[in-house]
Structure 1
Amino acid sequence: MRTQALGLGYYLPERILTNQELEKMVDTSDQWIVERTGIRERHIVGPGEKNSDLSVEAARRALQDAKLDPLQLDLIIVATASPDMPFPSTACILQALLGAKNAAAFDLAAGCTGFVYAMTVAEKFLLSPDYNYILVVGCDVVSSVIDYTDRNTCILFGDGAGAMVFGKSEGKCGILSTKIGADGTGGQLLYMPAGGSALPATHETVEKRLHYLRMNGNEIFKFATKIVAEVSQELLEKAGLTYDDIDLFVPHQANLRIILSAMRRMKLPPEKVAINLDHCGNISAGSIPVALAQYLEKYSLKSGANILMVAFGTGLTYGGAVLRWGRD
Structure 2
Amino acid sequence: MDLKAKITATGGFVPTNRRTNNYLANITDTSNEWIIKRTGIKERRILADELATSDMIVPAIEDLMKNTDMSLQEIDCLIVATCTPDMPMPSTANIVCRKLGLKNVFGFDINSACTGFLYAISLGASLIESRKYRNVIVAGADKMSSVTDLQDRRTNILFGDGAGAVLLQLSDDETGIQDSLLCGNGDGAEMLLIEGGGSLYPASMETLGSRKHFIRQDGRAVFRNAIEKMTAVSKALLDKNALSIDNVDWLIPHQANMRIIEAVGKELGIDAGRVISNVQYYGNTTAATIPLCLWDYKDKFQKGDLLLLTAFGAGFTWGATLLKWGM
Tell me the CA shift for residue 212 of structure 1: 0.6
Q: Is the 8 A contact 2:136 2:169 kept in 1?
A: yes
Q: Tell whether 2:305 aligns with 1:302.
A: no
Q: Following the alignment from structure 1 to structure 2, what is the Cα–Cα distance between the partners of residues 274 and 4? A: 20
Q: Is the 8 A contact 1:73 1:102 kept in 2?
A: no
Q: Is the 8 A contact 2:17 2:45 kept in 1?
A: yes
Tell me the CA shift for residue 127 of structure 1: 2.4
Q: 1:207 aligns with which of 206, 209, 227?
A: 209
Q: Following the alignment from structure 1 to structure 2, what is the Cα–Cα distance between the partners of residues 57 and 30? A: 31
Q: Is the 8 A contact 2:262 2:272 kept in 1?
A: no
Q: Is the 8 A contact 1:145 1:212 kept in 2?
A: yes
Q: Following the alignment from structure 1 to structure 2, what is the Cα–Cα distance between the partners of residues 206 and 226? A: 35
**After the TM superposition, which of the residue ranges 203-212 and 141-150 deviates more from structure 2?**
203-212
**After the TM superposition, which of the residue ranges 67-76 and 31-40 deviates more from structure 2?**
67-76
Corresponding position of 1:152: 154
Q: Is the 8 A contact 2:138 2:166 kept in 1?
A: yes
Q: Following the alignment from structure 1 to structure 2, what is the Cα–Cα distance between the partners of residues 300 and 195? A: 41
Corresponding position of 1:315: 315
Q: Is the 8 A contact 2:115 2:312 kept in 1?
A: yes
Q: Which amino acid aligns with 1:24?
A: N
Matches within 5 A, 1:46-125: 46-125=48-127
Q: Which amino acid aligns with 1:173?
A: T
Partner SS state of residue 22, structure 1: helix
Q: Is the 8 A contact 1:16 1:42 kept in 2?
A: yes
Corresponding position of 2:191: 189
Q: 2:18 aligns with which of 3, 16, 30?
A: 16
Corresponding position of 1:223: 225
RMSD of Structure 2 on Structure 1 (CA): 1.2
Q: Which amino acid aligns with 2:317?
A: T
TM-score normalised to structure 2 length? 0.97
Runs of 4+ in 1 over 6 A off after TM superposition: none
Q: Following the alignment from structure 2 to structure 1, what is the Cα–Cα distance between the partners of residues 60 and 304? A: 24
Q: 2:142 aligns with which of 140, 143, 155?
A: 140
Q: Following the alignment from structure 2 to structure 1, what is the Cα–Cα distance between the partners of residues 272 and 294? A: 14
Q: Which amino acid aligns with 1:47?
A: D
Count of residue correspondences: 325
Q: Following the alignment from structure 1 to structure 2, what is the Cα–Cα distance between the partners of residues 189 and 126? A: 35
In terms of fraction of residues, the more helix-rich structure is: 1
Tell me the CA shift for residue 237 of structure 1: 2.4
Q: Following the alignment from structure 2 to structure 1, what is the Cα–Cα distance between the partners of residues 33 and 284? A: 18
Q: 1:258 aligns with which of 260, 281, 285?
A: 260
Matches within 5 A, 1:271-310: 271-296=273-298, 299-310=299-310
Q: Following the alignment from structure 1 to structure 2, what is the Cα–Cα distance between the partners of residues 135 and 238? A: 28
Q: Which amino acid aligns with 2:165?
A: A
Q: Is the 8 A contact 1:252 1:287 kept in 2?
A: yes
Structure 2: any 5+ residue segments left out of the alignment?
Answer: none
Partner SS state of residue 211, structure 2: coil
- Superimposed CA distance per residue, residues 177-215 of structure 1 (whole angstroms, 9 cap, x where no aligned partner): 111110201111111111111011111211111111110
Q: Which amino acid aligns with 2:249?
A: D
Structure 1: any 5+ residue segments left out of the alignment?
Answer: none
Q: Following the alignment from structure 1 to structure 2, what is the Cα–Cα distance between the partners of residues 72 and 62? A: 14
Q: Which amino acid aligns with 2:262?
A: L
Partner SS state of residue 320, structure 2: strand
- Superimposed CA distance per residue, residues 267-313 of structure 1 (whole angstroms, 9 cap, x where no aligned partner): 322321111111111000000010221123xx522210001100010
Q: Following the alignment from structure 2 to structure 1, what is the Cα–Cα distance between the partners of residues 11 and 216? A: 30
Q: Which amino acid aligns with 1:323?
A: L
Q: Tell whether 2:178 aligns with 1:176.
A: yes
Q: Which amino acid aligns with 1:325?
A: W
Q: Is the 8 A contact 2:15 2:162 kept in 1?
A: yes
Q: Which amino acid aligns with 1:262?
A: V
Q: Following the alignment from structure 1 to structure 2, what is the Cα–Cα distance between the partners of residues 209 and 300? A: 42
- Superimposed CA distance per residue, residues 205-251 of structure 1 (whole angstroms, 9 cap, x where no aligned partner): 11111111110110001101101111111222233321111111111
**After the TM superposition, which of the residue ranges 122-131 and 308-317 deviates more from structure 2?**
122-131
Tell me the CA shift for residue 74 of structure 1: 1.4
Partner SS state of residue 34, structure 1: helix
Q: Following the alignment from structure 2 to structure 1, what is the Cα–Cα distance between the partners of residues 324 and 296? A: 18
Identical amino acids, percent of aligned pairs: 38
TM-score normalised to structure 1 length? 0.96
Q: Following the alignment from structure 1 to structure 2, what is the Cα–Cα distance between the partners of residues 67 and 41? A: 35
